[in-house]
Amino acid sequence: MTEPTTWQKSSFSGADNNQNCIHVRLTANDTIELVESETPETVVTTSRTNFSAFLLGAKAGEFDDLIEGTRQGLSSNVTPTSEVMPG
């Protein structure tokens, strides 16, 4: 078995020292794990197939009504960063 990949977060999460972010990684057994920075002890595990379907839905705008700010997506004052959660 290989090692899990490093935790990653969206470049739109902000640069606030890994606070208020959702982190995701691929595990050694080929599943996806998600954690919230506020409760890192709670890990959600799903299949790559299910996670891919979720991402496709998000990209298609299926969850835009859940986003704070504008109905079409994030407000224009959100800028991407490139931070990765330490493993």
Go through 38-65 and write b for each residue having 16 or more CB atoms within 10 A of its CB, e for each that does not.
Answer: eeeeeeeeeeeeebeeeeeeeeeeeeee
Contacts of 63 (CB under 8 A, 6+ apart): 57
- pLDDT 10s digits, 3-31: 778 999 888 776 666 567 899 999 999 99
Judge contact between 27 and 44, C-beta under 8 A.
Answer: no
d(CA 54, CA 62): 9
Contacts of 2 (CB under 8 A, 6+ apart): 28
pLDDT at position 78 over 50: no
pTM: 0.68
